[in-house]
Amino acid sequence: MDNIIFRRDNDAVDEPKKVPRSKIFDRKRKDLTPFISLFSEDEKLKLIRNLFERDAHNFNVFMSELNVKQTWPDAYLLMDTELKKRKIDILSSQAKSLTDRIYQVFFPEDISID
């Protein structure tokens, strides 16, 4: 016979607190510097080579479109659309590098990228 386990009131103390969806979907940019300035010259070259088929103009257009996005969902949707259009695996190291760096602008307290 199975044992029935009852929850104690203080068991919930260790559980993470739920974050309201509005805290994520309404998240505004913390830093208004251009996104392109977040990347070193070497990182830009790698992104251009690996994600933008060696086309610096398309990379710069994408970055300028990304700059006008003020909320995380808008920025993520633009990045997701661009990667899908280019048939790039979103889990590739370069795609993750791009996404993580932009994410850090909206959620600076969550991660630190070295």
pLDDT digit string, tens, across residues 11-37 = 555 555 666 665 666 677 777 888 899
Q: Is residue 75 part of a domain?
A: yes
Residues 43-101 have pLDDT tens digits of: 999 999 999 999 999 999 999 999 999 998 999 999 999 999 999 998 899 999 999 99
Neighbouring C-beta atoms of residue 22, cutoff 10 Å? 8
Look up residue 39 and give its two tokens: 């990347």
Tokens representing 71 are 């909320």
21, part of any domain: no
CB-count burial class (<10 Å; 0-12, 13-18, 19+) for 54: exposed
pTM of the model: 0.71
Residues facing 41 on adjacent strands: none
Domain that holds residue 49: 31-105
Note whether residue 84 is domain-resident: yes
User: For residue 89, is it within any domain?
Assistant: yes
Is residue 26, in this structure, part of any structural domain at all? no
| Number of domains making up the chain | 1
Does any domain span residue 51? yes
Report residue 91 CA to chain centroid gap. Answer: 12
Asked whether residue 114 is domain-assigned, the answer is: no
